[in-house]
Amino acid sequence: MKQIKGPAIFLAQFLSDESPFNTLEGMCKWVSDMGYKGIQIPTWDSRVFDLDTAAKSQRYCEDINGLVRSYGLEITELSTHLQGQLLVVNPAYDRMFDGFAPANLRGNPAQRAQWAAEQLRNAATASRYLGLTSHATFSGALLWHTMYPWPQRPQGLVEQGFAALAERWLPILNAFDDAGVDVCFELHPGEDLHDGVTFERFLEHCDHHPRANILYDPSHFVLQQLDYLSFIDIYHSRIKAFHVKDAEFTPSGRSGVYGGYQNWIDRPGRFRSLGDGQVDFSKIFSKLTQYGFDGWAVLEWECCIKHPEDGAREGATFIRNHLIRPTDKAFDDFARVEPDIALNNHVLGLK
């Protein structure tokens, strides 16, 4: 068995205009002082990472690696969650997602999608220059507005939608394959890839591409009421990245899975800081270790109650305490004897 690496932290939710959260070096010092060993870097904020430069300059990537390592850290993955979202956008969401795009592309969905595709290809190149093997992203969505089938979906809509999604992603998956990097889709409500069934549909339409993989985040499955432990049993061979994020689901007589358009703090399903929710991380770390996952355990903080800096500080210890050093022997090895054919025949009742 292999060992999960960690603790690591996704920097996206901590970025701000205030020091130390406005530079990569400042954030490296901050997380290193808390005991983290890895960072997952968002690629849409040039204050911490210039993706366009990284794709053109291996020297830039070497300098970034050098800076990160000078604080005793490693880069776990790059993230293109926002760019992946913009690769495939249903027109119903054009205006709402425009804010993720550069100002000069807003109001132009076709050019925005082209830019997103280029960004994703750049991320493949930059990941290779950085020596990374996994990449975190979103799939985007054409079908999400039809998630609840009323009115009934037109016949063939789902198949057509997944075929179109795969068509957008196949050239990018091939670019990541050329770079030797796995694309890890965070299965997330709002994306067409949001659970096991939708991931399977996507695989079928992209010929089970070897680079189409999963960023496992149990918090999104708690909010969907999906069995996040059985999910590992089914899809462990495709799990190539891991967000350690807690959540809780407490239905009431007034609101359930859909949340009633309420703010996060009032919803039955809420993201929480590590240890404050309902996710059984002991079983998750055990299952992932059992199946040989040797990627990074990356904290993603999205708690609606606790201060982010407290969540980050507590999260480093929480992850470290859940890491498992795999055993290199069986507990009953002391009783093992060398094979004895005659003895075995006797036990089996054979001559």
Cα angle, residue 134 at apex, residues 35 and 12 outer, rounded to 5°:
50
CA-to-CA separations, 313 to 10, 174, 242, in angstroms, rounded = 13, 38, 19
Q: Classify burial at 154, counting beta carbons within 10 Å of its beta carbon; exposed 0-12, middle 13-18, buried 19 or more.
A: exposed
The pLDDT score that the predictor gives to residue 237 is 98
Q: Which residues contact 54 (CB under 8 A, 6 or more apart)?
A: 43, 60, 61, 64, 122, 125, 126, 129, 130
Would the pLDDT of 206 be above 90?
A: yes
Using alpha carbons only, give the angle 48, 128, 30 rounded to the nearest 5 degrees. 30
**Mean pLDDT within 276-286:** 98
What was the pLDDT predicted at 332?
80
Give tens-digit pLDDT for 68-85.
999 999 999 999 999 999
Asked if residue 1 lies in contact with residue 323, where contact means CB atoms within 8 angstroms, the answer is: no
φ, ψ of residue 43 to 5 degrees: the values are: -110, 10
pLDDT at 1: 81
Instruction: Indicate whether 311 pLDDT > 90.
Output: yes
pLDDT at 351 (0 to 100) = 74
pLDDT tens digits, one per residue of 95-149: 999 999 999 999 999 999 999 999 999 999 999 999 999 999 999 999 999 999 9
pLDDT tens, residue by residue, 225-273: 999 999 999 999 999 999 999 999 999 999 999 999 999 999 999 999 9
Q: Which domain holds residue 200?
A: 5-348
What pLDDT is recorded for position 181?
Answer: 98
pLDDT digits (tens, 9 = 90+) for 18-71: 999 999 999 999 999 999 999 999 999 999 999 999 999 999 999 999 999 999
Contacts of 250 (CB under 8 A, 6+ apart): 268
Mean pLDDT of the chain: 97
- Portion of the chain with pLDDT greater than 70, in percent: 100
Q: Which of 125, 128, 115 is nearest to 55 (CA)?
A: 125
Neighbours of 19 (CB within 10 A): 10
In this model, does residue 335 exceed pLDDT 80? no
CATH, residue 330 = 3.20.20.150
| Percentage above 90 pLDDT, the chain | 95
Query: Tens of pLDDT along 285-298?
Result: 999 999 999 999 99
* Residue 328 confidence (pLDDT): 85
Q: Indicate the number of domains in the chain.
A: 1
Closest of 187, 190, 184 to residue 169, by C-alpha: 184
Residue 330 is predicted with a pLDDT of 83
Residue-level pLDDT at 110: 97
Which pLDDT belongs to residue 76? 98
How many whole angstroms separate alpha carbon 237 and alpha carbon 65? 29
Residue 2: predicted pLDDT: 92
Entry pTM: 0.96
Residue 257 and residue 271: Cα distance in Å, rounded? 13
d(CA 154, CA 158): 9
